[in-house]
């Protein structure tokens, strides 16, 4: 519990939390949010799905507990309304202990469910209709099948340490649990790594999630990265131009949505490139075939979304092209880090138009430097300056 009970300087007031939650944070010794908390709490408070890639010790427990408490306080109900699933008894106990501290002034109640103790005690706890259940997958399914745990009222689901659940063989149980939950709910997934099985789970579980990856670093010196201004309507033409680079061998092209990833791969294939998409609507077998084809050179371009590309490690990627501007420094460094692997050089280019400028400036502030701008004749971004191209488009 020491990871999240450390003292900080100031900052939770920025989230405009209810007084009961603020008092719980103060009682826990919290004053300033840690990085995972500051990046995940705001979108979670908005009701968005969230995926946080963060190691143990980063403060992620409060990152999902605080939004849960806020949501349950805003509209009272009965019976379990939030479910937190974790792989081990120890983690369940740790989460529950921290949750009790943060919730101490809210009147909200939480219970734990895990194996190794008599089930009848947990069945008795469930009769009190707690607000929050913190559980290991196996015992949770067992009690649900006995009718002791009702999941029909769950509004928020948290999967914590999803990669460990995979390592321990729990993902089939997790999928069975998902089948019992209401389809309309908020989903928060946290994992230190993103193996293929967890990535597949995330693709099916999360709806346009806010993604945070804490393990970002400055781009390696082996990567030449630059920004290319371009009118939004001409991005595909510029993409084709960049793929004609003399040093091109293979590329990962990043898009914001799975639908655009599929469409871009189809457009590139029609224009003569060996391209394949990697996105959430694909089966695991299709994903495996796409990755195998990209690795062996059958496909020279892989078009992927951020979630689909988590954990991709292909040594000979010469180019990364951000067709859509990444929203955060984490996404930027993760994406461009797919090239320049193993001390090889690589090129990472980002296409941006006028609406992307706030993200560009935010990323540059985090990097502490200005990213090089490059202009290609005919694609020189007159739209950004409000020049002739903008006026022509307005007159159409």
Percent of the chain with pLDDT over 70: 86
**What is residue 112's predicted lDDT score, i.e. its pLDDT?**
96
**What is residue 48's predicted lDDT score, i.e. its pLDDT?**
96
H-helix or E-strand spanning residue 301: strand 301-304
Is the confidence at residue 266, as pLDDT, over 90? yes
**What is residue 57's predicted lDDT score, i.e. its pLDDT?**
59
Q: How is 153-211 classified by DSSP, letter by letter?
A: T--EEEE-SHHHHHHTT-HHHHHHHHHHS-SS-EEEEEESS--HHHHHHHHHH-SS-EE
Domains of the chain: 12-213 (3.40.50.300), 223-395 (3.40.50.300)
What integer is the mean pLDDT of 211-238? 81
- DSSP assignment letter at 384: G
Question: pLDDT-derived band of residue 220, with 50, 70 and 90 as boundaries?
Answer: low
65-74, 105-114, 128-137, 383-392 — which is least confidently predicted? 383-392
Is the confidence at residue 391, as pLDDT, over 60? no
Highest mean pLDDT among 193-207, 211-225, 311-325: 193-207
Is the confidence at residue 16, as pLDDT, over 50? yes
Is the confidence at residue 167, as pLDDT, over 70? yes
What six digits make up the tokens of 20? 């009961």
**Of 2 and 83, which is predicted with more confidence?**
83
Question: pLDDT-derived band of residue 199, with 50, 70 and 90 as boundaries?
Answer: confident
Beta strand 82-85 pairing with 156-159 = parallel
What integer is the mean pLDDT of 226-234? 91
Residues 6+ apart with CB under 8 A from 46: none
CB-count burial class (<10 Å; 0-12, 13-18, 19+) for 174: buried
**What is residue 386's predicted lDDT score, i.e. its pLDDT?**
38
Contact yes or no for 170/137 (Cβ under 8 A): yes
Is the confidence at residue 8, as pLDDT, over 60? no
**What is residue 343's predicted lDDT score, i.e. its pLDDT?**
52
What integer is the mean pLDDT of 206-233? 81
Is the confidence at residue 156, as pLDDT, over 70? yes
What are the tens digits of pLDDT across the range 232-252?
889 999 999 999 888 888 999
What are the tens digits of pLDDT across the range 33-60?
988 899 999 999 999 999 998 766 578 8
What integer is the mean pLDDT of 177-203? 90
What integer is the mean pLDDT of 301-309? 79
What are the tens digits of pLDDT across the range 135-146?
999 999 999 999
**What is residue 312's predicted lDDT score, i.e. its pLDDT?**
63
Cα 329 → chain centroid: 13
**What is residue 390's predicted lDDT score, i.e. its pLDDT?**
36
**Of 31 and 33, which is predicted with more confidence?**
33
Highest mean pLDDT among 189-193, 341-345, 380-384: 189-193
Q: How is 55-68 classified by DSSP, letter by letter?
A: -TTSSHHHHHHHHH
Is the confidence at residue 341, as pLDDT, over 80? no
**What is residue 148's predicted lDDT score, i.e. its pLDDT?**
95
**What is residue 384's predicted lDDT score, i.e. its pLDDT?**
44
Output the average pLDDT for the chain: 85
What six digits make up the tokens of 11? 């900052």
């Amino acid at each position: 519990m020491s990871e999240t009970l450390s003292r900080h300087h100031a900052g939770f007031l920025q989230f405009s939390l209810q007084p009961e939650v603020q008092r719980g944070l103060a009682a826990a010794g919290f004053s300033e949010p840690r990085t995972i908390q500051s990046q995940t709490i705001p979108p979670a408070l908005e009701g968005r799905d969230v995926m946080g890639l963060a190691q143990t010790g980063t403060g992620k427990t409060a990152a999902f507990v605080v939004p849960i408490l806020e949501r349950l306080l805003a509209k009272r109900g009965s019976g379990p309304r939030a479910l937190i699933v974790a792989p081990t008894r120890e983690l369940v106990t740790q989460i529950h202990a921290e949750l009790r501290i943060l919730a101490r002034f809210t009147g909200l109640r939480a219970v734990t469910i895990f194996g190794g103790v008599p089930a009848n005690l947990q069945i008795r706890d469930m009769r009190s209709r707690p607000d929050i259940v913190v559980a290991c997958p196996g015992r949770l399914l067992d009690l649900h099948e006995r009718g002791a745990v009702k999941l029909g009222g769950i509004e928020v689901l948290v999967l914590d340490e999803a990669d460990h659940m995979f390592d321990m063989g729990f993902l089939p149980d997790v999928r069975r649990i998902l089948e019992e939950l209401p389809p309309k709910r908020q989903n928060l997934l946290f994992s230190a790594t993103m193996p293929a099985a967890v990535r597949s789970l995330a693709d099916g579980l999360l709806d346009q999630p806010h993604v945070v990856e804490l393990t970002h670093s400055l781009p390696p010196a082996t990567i030449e990265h630059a920004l290319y201004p371009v009118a939004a309507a001409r991005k595909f033409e510029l993409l084709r131009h960049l793929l004609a680079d003399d040093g091109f061998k293979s590329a990962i092209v990043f898009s914001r949505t799975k639908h655009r990833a599929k469409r871009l791969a189809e457009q590139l294939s029609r224009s003569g490139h060996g391209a394949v998409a990697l996105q959430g609507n694909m089966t695991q077998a299709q994903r495996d075939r796409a990755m195998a084809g990209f690795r062996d050179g059958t496909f020279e371009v892989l078009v992927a979304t951020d979630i689909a590309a988590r954990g991709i490690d292909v040594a000979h990627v010469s180019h990364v092209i951000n067709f859509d501007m990444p929203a955060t420094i984490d996404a930027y460094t993760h994406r461009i880090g797919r090239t320049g692997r193993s001390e090889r050089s690589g090129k990472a280019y980002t296409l941006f138009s006028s609406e992307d400028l706030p993200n560009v400036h935010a990323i540059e502030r985090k990097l502490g430097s200005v990213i090089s701008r490059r202009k290609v004749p005919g694609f020189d971004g007159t739209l950004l300056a409000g020049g002739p191209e903008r006026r022509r488009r307005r007159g159409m």
